[in-house]
Amino acid sequence: MGRTEEILSKRASLRPVIMIFVTVGTHEQPFDRLVKEIDKLKGKNIITEQVFIQTGYSVYKPKFCEYEEFIKFNEMMEMIKKARIVITHGGPGSIMPVLYNGKVPIVVPRQKKHGEHVDAHQVHFCKKLEEKGKILAVYKIEEIENKIKNYESFANKLIDIKKKKEDHMEKLKNISEAMDELCKKLLKNRKY
C-alpha cells in the first residue's frame, strides 16, 4: 500500500459509522430480554443500520447483529464515539461514558423480576437520571422500538430542555451578580 492509500484508509476509519452500539455490561446474570429484542428488530429490518452488541453473560446469541461477549474498555469507548445511538443497561459504568461523550443513551435497566439482577437499583438509578433529563429510559422492552425510531426527536428534546435550563441559570447568575454590584454601590455610598 502506497502512502496516499494509507492516508485515505486512515481518513475513512475516522469517519463516523452509522451504527447502534448495545452494551449489557459485565454483570454475571444474562440480559437476554434486551439482546433478543434488538436482534428481533434488526431481523425484521426495523433497524436497518449496523448493530454491534456486547452480550456479556447472555445465553441468547444474536442471529442478525454482530456481537462479542466482552470487549476491552478502549474498544467500548471507540464504539460509543462512532455510534449514532448507544443502548445500555442501567449500570453507571456503562451510562457515564456515553454522557461524557455528549450523547443521550437509551437505557434499559436490568430488572429483578426478569432475573437480570439481584435488586431494583438500576431502575431507581435510571429514574433519577431520567428526572434530570440525561437519558431515554426504557422500562418495558416493547418501548425500545419507538425510542430507536424517534431517537433524534427524543434526544433533541432533552438537549433543548438542558440548554434552556443552562440559559436560565446563566440569566439568574447575571441578575444575581448585578444585584450584588448594586448592593455594594448602595452600601458604599450610604451615609451614617
State pLDDT tens for residues 34-75. Answer: 999 999 999 999 999 999 999 999 999 999 999 999 999 999
Asked whether residue 81 carries a pLDDT value surpassing 60, the answer given is yes
pLDDT at site 161: 58
Query: Rounded to two decimals, what is the model's pTM?
Result: 0.76
- What angle in degrees, to the nearest 10, is found between the helix axes of 73-82 and 92-100? 50
Q: Model confidence over 121-178: pLDDT tens digits?
A: 999 999 999 988 999 999 999 999 999 999 999 998 876 656 656 655 666 677 777 7
Give exposure, 111-145, as e/b (b: 16+ Cβ within 10 Å).
beeeebbeebebbebbbebbeeebbbbbeebeebb
Order of strands across the sheet that contains 85-88: 66-68, 50-54, 19-23, 85-88, 106-107, 136-137
Q: For cell 454590584, what's the residue?
A: 181
Predicted local confidence at residue 183, as pLDDT: 78
Tens of pLDDT along 119-128?
999 999 999 9
> What is the three-class DSSP state of 105?
coil
**Would you say how long the chain is, in residues?**
192
Virtual torsion, Cα 150, 156, 157, 159, nearest 10 deg = 150
Query: What pLDDT was estimated at residue 178?
Result: 77
